[in-house]
Structure formats: C-alpha cells, structure tokens
C-alpha cells in the first residue's frame, strides 16, 4: 500500500493529526494495534471544574471527524514493528500483514506512552495489575478488577485512577508508596516520590497543590509526610498513605493481601510491618514515552526527566532529526490528552508544509505552539510539575542540532 502520510497510533494525537491531514486532502493510512481507536482516552473519566471529563466521548468526537474523510484508510489491529527509509520516503512493516508493508512519503509517530512497573515480592500472582489496566477494565469494559484493592506508587495517574475506581464502587485500602533498594530503584526514595506529587494539578490531587506551596520546602514536606497518620490522609475520598510502603503481595493461588510497613521518620528504615486484606493490587510507577520506533529509525533522542523519559529531539514543527518523520503526543513527552490533541494538529500542519514543499521555518510554528501552551495551562491533569523546563530543554537541543552538521 502506498500513501502520502502514515499516522502510527490512533490515540488523541494521531486522531487529531489524521483529521487535519484528511481535511487537507491527503491520502492517509491511520494504523493502530488496538481494535478500538482512541488510545488512552478511552479509559479517562473524572470530575473536573464541576464537569465530568469523559474521554470516551472525546474519542468519539475525534473519530467521527476522521471518518468524514474517505482518503483516510483505517488499519486497526495491526502493529508497526519496523520503520525504515525507502526511496519514496518511509516503509512501515505491519503485523498481521495485509498490507504487510505501507509506503509513505511522510510519517507521524503518535504511539503514546507506557506504564512503569514496580517489582514486588509475588507480583506475578493473578490479581496484580498495572493501574492503567485497572482503568481500562473499569472504564472501558465495565468490569471491576476486584472488591477491595490497593494502589502501590503515588503519582498523578494513581490519583486519577483511584478516583475512577471509587466511583465504580470498588473499595481501596489507599495509595501506598513503592519500595526501593540499593540494587533496584525504579521510582526513587520516599522523598523523591513525595516531591513528584506535591504541587501537582490534576486528578484528585488538588489539595496537595494548596498545601504544595509550603511542601516545596524539604523540611516541611518531610515533616508532614512522615507524620501523617498510618491510615493516611483523605484526598477527595482517596487515602494517600505517604509513610506506608508496600513490601510484598500475599497469596498462593491469587492475591489475598498486601504486606505493608511504616517507615521511620529519620532514615526511612522499616519500623513495623503488618498485612491488610485485598483481592487486587495496582502497581503504578508512572508513565514513560515509548521511543522504540524512533530508535529503530535512527532518530536523535534525549533523556528529559520533566517529559518523563527518552524523547526524540524535534523541531517546533514536530519533525525529528530524520526528514519526513514527525512525532506528536505522549511519544514526545507525557502530558494530558488536551496537549496531545494540540500537538496532533501542529504535526499535521508540519507534514502539510513538508509535502507541499513550503517553508518549515520554526518561527512560523508560533501560533500552533501557542495553542499547545494554552492546552497545557487548561489541562485537568499535569504529569510533572516542571513540564515547561522540559519543553525548553528540548527546544535548546533542537537549536543546538541546527548548528551541528
């Protein structure tokens, strides 16, 4: 199959891009490995400014918009597993085949982010799942993951999804902290974990922002967090237990409980341990952009902590270091769905200019960049308190790369 543009990923970013490209009259292949378009929007549902943010409905609106353009071909339930230069632009390998290869003059990669797991003793037992899987079960399929669970790991996603679970009538023993050790340290020390949720907007975490002004001082944060009651502090119905760490999952055939420990104030050593009954455990280590297709295509990437991981160095039009290969959405940094949509529009405009041989001067991207910034400010959820710094860092890397051959 040969098209002008291949869009990989039909989440909010890819759908927004495909809609714009369809409207501009391009022949587009929109590829996603999941049977239903919408990406991670499908599971999102929470209260926001007295309204309900209904991701499923947002996804339907985006999908309907794409469906009106007949030049957009939908290729669902197919994974892109290779991305290579071809004489006409790019060749994408699909599995299952039919077509097994898609040729495109330009590509938009909108493959999103993945969850970071938290290793626990016995975490291979049935009943342990990623917090995002619990979200999909509950909000997309209407299946409760259990009767009473616990979320291990505190981050914006934990709060948003805990709220969704409670609303679905599932009971929670709260959000407890993730363990670490000298050899395995996925989410950092307790204070690293606290810092990440203090001052954040979004999900159920807003009271932390109010307190957050004071909690940016290390000693205030450490004092308040380590002296919280063992049962936790209620944050919009969800109990955050900042000085309780999960040490093991309990059960033989499946999850029957969680082993917890209270941490001493001064040195983060264990003070006491006990068990609580639960029938499911959500591990929640946060989100990371997935760089696999960029690395395969030899795109220049950088590790940017504020954007949650390894991201491609991109121009203000969303073009990577490989001409004709554009990147949008969570694949270039973990942010909310509103930002992903705005990035999808910008990427489509970049591709349009590229295919029409128009200037990709980065100053011309200002209006679109401004819309992304607005979306960022209006988002119901922010995944890192210093997103702006990450975006600036990425822009600096791009400008630096202009100088280098």
Partner 1 sequence: MPTHNDEVILCRCEGITLGQVRAAVQQLQPTSLRELKLVTRLGMGMCQGRVCRPIIQSVGQAMFQDRSETRLAYQIPTRPVSFGDFVKADDDYE
Ligand X SMILES: Cc1cc2nc3c(=O)[nH]c(=O)nc-3n(C[C@H](O)[C@H](O)[C@H](O)COP(=O)(O)OP(=O)(O)OC[C@H]3O[C@@H](n4cnc5c(N)ncnc54)[C@H](O)[C@@H]3O)c2cc1C
CA 85 to chain centre: 28
- Beta-bridged to residue 301, according to DSSP, are 312
Asked whether the bond before 99 is cis by omega within 30 degrees of 0, the reply is: yes
Q: Give yes or no for residue 111 binding ligand X (CB under 6 A).
A: yes
Spatial distance between the Cα atoms of 176 and 39, rounded to a whole number of angstroms: 28
- Does residue 371 sit in helix, strand or coil? helix
| Minimum gap (Å) between residue 81 Cβ and partner 1 | 4
The structure tokens 């990440």 sit at 196
Q: Give yes or no for residue 178 binding ligand X (CB under 6 A).
A: no
Q: Give yes or no for residue 163 binding ligand X (CB under 6 A).
A: no
Q: Give yes or no for residue 299 binding partner 1 (CB under 8 A).
A: no
Of residues 193-232, those binding partner 1 (CB under 8 A): none
Nearer to ligand X, 261 or 290 (CB): 290
| Minimum gap (Å) between residue 19 Cβ and partner 1 | 26
Pick one of partner 1, ligand X, none as the site partner of residue 181 (Cβ within 5 to 8 A by kind): partner 1
The structure tokens 């999960």 sit at 246
Nearest by Cα to 17 from 107, 113, 80, 104: 107
Pick one of ligand X, partner 1, none as the site partner of residue 269 (Cβ within 5 to 8 A by kind): partner 1
Spatial distance between the Cα atoms of 254 and 149, rounded to a whole number of angstroms: 13
Spatial distance between the Cα atoms of 258 and 276, rounded to a whole number of angstroms: 5
| Minimum gap (Å) between residue 114 Cβ and partner 1 | 7
Counting residues that bind ligand X (by CB under 6 A) gives: 34
Nearer to partner 1, 102 or 337 (CB): 102
Measured CA distances, 148 to 156, 170, 303 (Å): 21, 6, 37
Q: In terms of residues, how long is the chain?
A: 405
Nearer to partner 1, 21 or 91 (CB): 91
- Beta-bridged to residue 258, according to DSSP, are 249, 276
For 327, list phi and psi in degrees, rounded to 5: -140, 135
Q: Give yes or no for residue 20 binding ligand X (CB under 6 A).
A: no
Nearest by Cα to 391 from 360, 368, 359, 369: 369
One residue of 64, 185, 377, 392 binding partner 1 per CB under 8 A:
185
Q: Give yes or no for residue 321 binding partner 1 (CB under 8 A).
A: no
| Positions that interact with partner 1 (CB under 8 A) | 33, 79-82, 86, 91, 93-97, 99-101, 103, 114, 116-117, 119-121, 123-124, 179-186, 189-190, 245, 247, 261, 263, 268-270, 285, 288, 291-293, 295-296, 301, 303, 309-310
| Positions that interact with ligand X (CB under 6 A) | 8-14, 31-34, 39-41, 44, 79-80, 110-113, 115, 132, 135, 157, 160, 287, 329-331, 336-337, 340, 381
């Amino acid at each position: 199959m040969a098209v002008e543009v291949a869009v990989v990923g039909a989440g909010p970013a890819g759908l927004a891009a495909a809609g714009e490209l369809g409207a501009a009259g391009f022949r587009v292949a929109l590829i996603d490995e999941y049977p239903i378009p919408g990406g991670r929007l499908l599971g999102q549902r929470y209260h926001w400014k007295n309204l309900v943010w209904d991701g499923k409905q947002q996804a339907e609106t985006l999908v309907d918009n794409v469906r009106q353009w007949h030049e957009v071909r939908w290729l669902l339930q197919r994974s892109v597993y290779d991305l290579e230069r071809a004489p006409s632009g790019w060749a994408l390998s699909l599995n299952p085949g039919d077509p097994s290869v898609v040729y495109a003059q330009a590509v938009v990669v909108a493959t999103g982010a993945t969850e970071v797991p938290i290793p626990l003793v016995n975490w291979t037992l049935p009943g342990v799942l990623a917090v995002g899987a619990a979200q999909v079960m509950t909000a997309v399929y209407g299946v409760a993951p259990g009767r009473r669970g616990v979320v291990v790991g505190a981050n914006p996603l934990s709060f948003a999804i805990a709220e969704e679970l409670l609303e679905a009538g599932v009971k929670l023993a709260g959000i407890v902290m993730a363990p670490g050790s000298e050899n395995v340290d996925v989410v950092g020390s307790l204070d690293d974990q606290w810092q990440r949720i203090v001052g954040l907007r979004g999900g159920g975490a807003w009271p932390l922002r109010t307190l957050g002004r004071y909690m940016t001082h290390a000693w205030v944060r450490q004092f308040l967090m380590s002296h919280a009651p063992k049962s936790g502090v209620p944050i919009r119905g969800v109990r955050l237990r900042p000085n309780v760490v999960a040490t093991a999952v309990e059960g033989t055939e499946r999850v029957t409980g969680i082993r917890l420990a209270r941490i001493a104030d001064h040195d983060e050593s264990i003070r006491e341990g006990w068990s609580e009954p639960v029938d499911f455990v959500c591990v929640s280590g946060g989100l990371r952009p997935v760089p696999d297709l960029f690395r395969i295509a030899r795109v220049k990437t950088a590790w940017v902590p504020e954007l949650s991981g390894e991201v491609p160095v991109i121009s203000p039009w969303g073009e990577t270091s490989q001409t004709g290969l554009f990147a949008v959405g969570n694949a270039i940094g973990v942010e909310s769905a509103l930002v992903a949509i705005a990035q999808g529009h910008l990427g489509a405009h970049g591709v349009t200019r590229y295919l029409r041989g128009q200037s990709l001067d980065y100053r011309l991207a200002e209006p679109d960049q401004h819309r992304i910034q607005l979306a960022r400010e209006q988002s119901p959820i922010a995944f890192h308190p210093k997103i702006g710094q990450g975006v600036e860092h990425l822009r600096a890397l791009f400008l630096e790369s202009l100088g280098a051959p």
